[in-house]
Amino acid sequence: MSIANQGFPAFRADLNNALQALVSNSSGSTAPSTTFAYQFWIDTSASPNILKQRNADNDAWITIGSLNQSTDVFNLAIAQGGTGGATASDARTNLGLAIGTDVQAYSANLTTYASTGIGFRNRIINGAMVIDQRNAGASFAQTDGAYNLDRWSGDSWSGSSTTGKYTVQQSSTAPTGFNFSLKVTSSAATSSASSDLYTIKQKIEGYNTADLGFGTANAKTITISFWVRSSATGTFGGALKNSAGNKAYAFTYSISAADTWEQKSITIAGDTSGTWVGATNGMGLAVYWQLQVGSSNATSAGSWATGDYYGATGCVNLLTSNGATFYITGVQLEVGSSATSFDYRPYGTELALCQRYCYVTGGNSYSNFYSGFFNSTTDFQGPLIFPVTMRSAPTLTSTGNFQVISNSTFSASNLALGGPETTQMTAKINVNVSGATAGYGGTMRANNDTTAKLILSSEL
Partner 1 sequence: MYKFIKNSEFDVLIRIADNASIPFDPANTDYQAFKQAIADGAELQDADGNVVADAQAYVAGLP
The site for partner 1 (CB under 8 A) is made up of: 281-282, 375, 391-398, 415-422, 427-428, 430, 457-460
Least separation in angstroms between residue 458's CB and partner 1 is: 6
Least separation in angstroms between residue 441's CB and partner 1 is: 18
Are 446 and 435 in contact by the 8 Å Cβ rule? The answer is no
Beta bridge partners, 334, equal 223
Please list, in sequence order, all residues whose beta carbon lies within 8 angstroms of the beta carbon of residue 10, skipping any fewer than 6 positions away: 4
Nearer to partner 1 (CB atom), residue 318 or residue 456: 456
149 three-state secondary structure: coil
Least separation in angstroms between residue 283's CB and partner 1 is: 9
Nearer to partner 1 (CB atom), residue 91 or residue 396: 396
Burial label, 102 (beta-carbon count in 10 A; 0-12, 13-18, 19+): exposed
Nearer to partner 1 (CB atom), residue 324 or residue 444: 444
Structure letter (DSSP) for residue 267 = E
Nearer to partner 1 (CB atom), residue 354 or residue 427: 427
Nearer to partner 1 (CB atom), residue 195 or residue 280: 280
Nearer to partner 1 (CB atom), residue 162 or residue 190: 162
Least separation in angstroms between residue 365's CB and partner 1 is: 23
Nearer to partner 1 (CB atom), residue 52 or residue 428: 428
Beta bridge partners, 366, equal none
Residue among 188, 165, 168 nearest 180 (CA): 168
Query: How far is 166 from 170, CA to CA, in rounded Å?
Result: 14
Exposure string of 365-381, with b = 16+ CB inside 10 Å and e = fewer, is eebebbbbbbeeeebbb
Nearer to partner 1 (CB atom), residue 341 or residue 397: 397
Q: Is 213 left (phi over 0), alpha (psi -120 to 50) or beta?
A: left
Query: How far is 340 from 343, CA to CA, in rounded Å?
Result: 8
Least separation in angstroms between residue 113's CB and partner 1 is: 34
249 three-state secondary structure: strand
The bridge status of strand 153-158 relative to strand 402-405 is: unpaired
Are 401 and 449 in contact by the 8 Å Cβ rule? The answer is yes
Which sign does the torsion angle of CA 202, 203, 206, 209 carry?
positive
The bridge status of strand 181-186 relative to strand 262-268 is: unpaired
Nearer to partner 1 (CB atom), residue 206 or residue 294: 206
Please list, in sequence order, all residues whose beta carbon lies within 8 angstroms of the beta carbon of residue 138, skipping any fewer than 6 positions away: 169
Phi and psi angles of residue 456, each rounded to the nearest 5 degrees, phi first? -115, 120
Nearer to partner 1 (CB atom), residue 75 or residue 458: 458
In angstroms, how far is the first alpha carbon of the chain from the final one?
94
Q: Is 344 left (phi over 0), alpha (psi -120 to 50) or beta?
A: beta
Least separation in angstroms between residue 438's CB and partner 1 is: 13
Least separation in angstroms between residue 133's CB and partner 1 is: 16
Distance of CA 45 to the CA centre of its chain: 61
Least separation in angstroms between residue 393's CB and partner 1 is: 4
Are 343 and 387 in contact by the 8 Å Cβ rule? The answer is no
Least separation in angstroms between residue 416's CB and partner 1 is: 4
Least separation in angstroms between residue 169's CB and partner 1 is: 21
Beta bridge partners, 437, equal none
Least separation in angstroms between residue 400's CB and partner 1 is: 13
Nearer to partner 1 (CB atom), residue 142 or residue 252: 142
Least separation in angstroms between residue 336's CB and partner 1 is: 30
Are 97 and 104 in contact by the 8 Å Cβ rule? The answer is no
Query: How far is 395 from 268, CA to CA, in rounded Å?
Result: 35
